[in-house]
Structure 1
């Protein structure tokens, strides 16, 4: 047998009967210590270097899949021997095939028995419980850590037929989401498990809740670490209260932010006074009770939930800021909290605002909430900064001089970016992002690095707000800089001095439009060749 498993950009994996041959294309100049001369590195070379640095380990999942297959074969052999042996006693049941396989693996690998049992358990899950997700690891779509987390999240699903459905649904959704991250994989698995087996999600939450505790561990001479384990909501509110106190000091306080937090938490627990340590006569700290209470009032946890879920008609999960999908039961419990505030989001209002006010710079409150709920986090791959703690960014830049010529203030052109990634896009050269709504109403975001590497992925919470992918925009799909916006500024230079035809900002926007157009043309060609994404 000779099976080609994967081939991409000069790299390949071939699995023969007796060997696994992995060939990874190594970019020129990356094998020696010096690397290529900086001036000689083209954009294509930089893209190759970046792809190699970021993705050269994607075949570890294939190797791990075969390692799991090997130990699973050992387990099945021991299980067959055990079933054929009629002399079963208490000790045989104690040292069952799984235990014995783990002991053999632990001895050979030089690890503890517990680690061996975990490895065997994951191998069994890979081939018996969630084989479709396991194949995603084999094919390099998931890394080993993401697969292990999926094993843990599906561990309490005990109905075989339901587990097979959940396995297939998770694999299908993950395979079509584009660029993945640990948070995105975990959120997807959590949403599907919570929707189709709420009891498994509830049991998981109850197991975690039973581990609530407070512990103190000495760290160094005179310093100890206190750990409080509690509910996610209480932890977030408590941190907000600590920050509300710690942020009241003046700019000249000598402590770091973490040190101020520690002192503020201690003051809250001991009901003692928290003061600024600047020791200046002109201290402008804001530590009066009314000022602290005003900052605490701004602490919020956002939960997005369908009305049908709150009414008990549907078991569709909700989405909690900073956590991810939560079960319908959990969402209903949160609504019953005395400090909960319910605000209805009318999607018809969102659609109307997008069509009526696309030329306005600031989105309406309804559009703002809908966009943050749709994406959940910063839209740059790998960044988990919550959307409500991020900036809303016009993907195609808004033109303040001629709003009709720039990007619209619409769901199709807005997404959240954390302050760092918003700054990178705005001020660093070469970063281009794009947002596309395909024919099926799926909203995609793209980020292209200065090296030319493009990462494309779906809006994370489209499963919760699918209507947002079907807004009939009236402003079209192409935005650019017109001749009127490209004219020279009124403040012209005197005499024959050189003048800019475009300001620096206009030039940067034009470059981004050209890159977006090139990316879209390349994507259209790929769609014709390979079908709808993922490619």
Structure 2
């Protein structure tokens, strides 16, 4: 059996012995790791071909909750034109952000972690391990200098990349101390320098929703804050039990945490003698839930499960009822919008009703493989609006109407405006994009699919039966 085996027919698999299966899957893994290493080389080459130009800013990552951006690779790595990454991402079938990470990791490894890069290309370190190290060295705070990154590179390469997340964090902390990258007084540092990498965080994993409609919360707190929170949850759980709750202790503690969040806005007023009935609503959130419904006589009957517009997540009807029945929850019912209606206005600005219709139709940014929620996107005129058309007596080529509007996140809106990326709406909610290199993609409510690429010059495409 060939070591470069890449495809097996079903019949061939059934004829393999146990030893042959192990041999084949080992060969597949070797091929997979070799391909991942080669992909890093190609990503770095793509970056080399696209340095920043006058119309292209350098690519960077937006930092959530901050006003600054981080470069896609560390100090000493070359800059990359931001818009070139969209083409790479669509060819790979991933988002532009994922393409940024791939290129950033490739440049970080090649320019700042050369030992690890060499081991990856030699097949001694899997690409995924090397990329995990690069991800840390790119985004460490404070930023690692080239010398500091070289120190990390030497330590990680010495163990052939076999370093876990905790070990890597401690290595980076030691590097920061060794290279005096943070102004820390050793007398105030009882943990030998490791404390100036602040581990505190509170993260809601809203991309990982359980089928029961729950999310996971992960946090690293100051000791005093953690003990105070523990006591508050214990008190809240006990209060719920005293009020007759039959939930488990864990479930009551979870509910108590939600109660803390909802009442936080009223804490100051609660202690000032204000009438609780006149306190501001602690929860004011707009949720868009979609349920199948039918008529039973004059009553509307909803199905037991539906989906949240935000993240296309499963939601239970009982949960919606529970949220709405909370006495301190402000409920706003918005009118139903017919997604099939073609709404329009003679003005350039998009009215709220048309914007809402476009958001509900598109659900996300309509650029290939982009998953940014449409509610945070711009509403773009697919065919450009001509502000001088009315004054010059010409028909408007880009009217403000549903059939000429689409949701685009700010980055892909700028991409469409400033580059030769083009798209058109072939039917409501379905868009066909053409890249600067002639690659074509279809995006609809089911996702993105690549359309057959153009024929190379002088090479006719064979006819299909």
TM-score normalised by the chain length of structure 2: 0.39
Higher helix share: 1
Normalised to the residue count of structure 1, the TM-score between the two structures is 0.35
Q: Which has the higher contact order (CA 8 A, sep 6+)?
A: 1
